[in-house]
A = this chain, B = another copy of it.
Amino acid sequence: MQATRIERLTSSLVRDILAVATRPGMISFAGGLPAEEGLFRPQDAGIDLNAFPDNLWQYGMSEGEPALREWVAQRASGMGLECSPEQVLILSGSQQGIDLVAKLLVDESTDILVESPAYLAALQVFRLFGARMHDIRQDEEGAMPSALAAAPQARFAYFTPTFQNPTGRCATPERRAELAGLCDRRGLTVFEDDPYRDLSFDAPPPAPLVSHLAKSRWIYQGSFSKTLSPGLRLGYLVAHPDLITPLVRLKQAADLHTNRLSQFIVLLALQQGLVERHVASNLPLYRERRDAMHAVLQEKLAGEASWVKPSGGLFFWLQLQRKIDGMALLQEALERGLAFMPGDPFFAGQPEYPALRLNFSHSTPEEIRRGVAILAELLGR
């Protein structure tokens, strides 16, 4: 006998796709992987890993290293999200924040609101904990206020307003303020997931949605996986004063505390200004790949699909003109050496429209051209 929630552990579809996608020779638009060339390697950046302080090997604090919490609080405050270091919790990657927030807020049959579509692995966690998810439709600027206003009563709303996974969309300041105002009026707690903020190719992104809240409680989280390296498994959250204490206790129950080596590496990188420099040096690479994918999509798929050219993040989201069987298409593509993500799993409920998610960060412009050509052939048939 297992727990009831295990029946809701969704199939290993994504795991299977990613396993195939990493085969040598495969062009993969499937994952959400940073460019290999863009990974932060501390040694190459002049950080001497052998200089780890002695006390780092003992148990640490569940909340995280104090200096890192201070940096996060300063960054958040600098973005208009006034907070103190006591409101910060260092995470073993921001996926962990989703687990902790689900533990904090989701009972069996708890109503929650999610963008349609939304980050797949967040939907999986909310579903695992038994949430009843209600879709908020999106337009080109992200979640639509009219959809939020019409949504049923719910315990919280999950938003990724900045270069969303999977759509790549970024809400304007006005849209954020409008959504925040609605959440305030409804007394709706807001969980904002913000891992892509620094991967901004055209202009600095607007302040977080939660910085516009006047009354509602909130959790905001960020990550070092996209700006530095995913292997570090390091993220953070900042929470409303009412919520931080139970979140820290949940963190302690989950894994006692976050790896101290990673915390130390990131702290050194921050103190030495290496993070900003690293991100800045990566942007041309990402921009080039984004532009390459946009160009070849325009050339090959303008009749078959529509998309918003993302101004940040890692993904193109193709809305297809015709209904397709995404899994059958993927199967054909894999045989031709191309992997991508079918759109259906990104919808909490019934898919709104046929779609594909294409990652552009992990392939060279040449691979991008070849991959999109394969896709166009398959879709054109």
Does A1 sit at the interface, judged by CB under 8 A? yes
Interchain CB contact under 8 A, B33 and A57:
no
Besides A43-B50, A121-B253, 16 more A-B contacts (Cβ < 8 Å) are A2-B246, A3-B110, A6-B104, A12-B245, A36-B55, A36-B58, A58-B229, A59-B225, A95-B254, A95-B256, A99-B255, A121-B252, A231-B260, A232-B261, A259-B261, A259-B262
How far in angstroms is the closest Cβ of chain B from A237? 13
Chain B residue numbers with a CB within 8 Å of A253 are 9, 95, 99, 121, 124-125, 128
How distant is the Cα of A59 from the Cα of B359 in the complex, in angstroms? 15
Does A195 sit at the interface, judged by CB under 8 A? no
B-contact bits for A46-78, CB 8 A (1 contact / 0 none): 001110101111111010000000000000000
How distant is the Cα of A1 from the Cα of B189 in the complex, in angstroms? 9
Chain B residue numbers with a CB within 8 Å of A40 are 57
Known pairs A9-B250, A259-B261; A231 contacts B39 (CB<8 A)? no
Interchain CB contact under 8 A, A58 and B43:
no
Does A370 sit at the interface, judged by CB under 8 A? no
Chain A interface extent, by class: 35 or more
How distant is the Cα of A3 from the Cα of B4 in the complex, in angstroms? 17
Does A145 sit at the interface, judged by CB under 8 A? no
Does A155 sit at the interface, judged by CB under 8 A? yes
Does A41 sit at the interface, judged by CB under 8 A? yes
Does A132 sit at the interface, judged by CB under 8 A? no
Chain A residues in the interface with B (C-beta under 8 A)? 1-6, 9, 12, 15, 31, 33-34, 36, 39-41, 43, 48-50, 52, 54-60, 62, 92-93, 95-96, 99, 103-108, 110, 121, 124-125, 128-129, 155, 225, 229-233, 245-246, 249-250, 252-262
Interchain CB contact under 8 A, B128 and A232:
no
How far in angstroms is the closest Cβ of chain B from A190? 14
Known pairs A50-B43, A52-B43; A231 contacts B60 (CB<8 A)? yes
How distant is the Cα of A262 from the Cα of B264 in the complex, in angstroms? 13
Interchain CB contact under 8 A, A4 and B107:
yes
Known pairs A43-B50, A155-B1; A99 contacts B58 (CB<8 A)? no
How distant is the Cα of A2 from the Cα of B257 in the complex, in angstroms? 23
How far in angstroms is the closest Cβ of chain B from A329? 25
Interchain CB contact under 8 A, B39 and A59:
no
How distant is the Cα of A69 from the Cα of B260 in the complex, in angstroms? 22
- For A124, give the chain B residue with the smallest CB separation: B253
Chain B residue numbers with a CB within 8 Å of A52 are 41, 43, 49
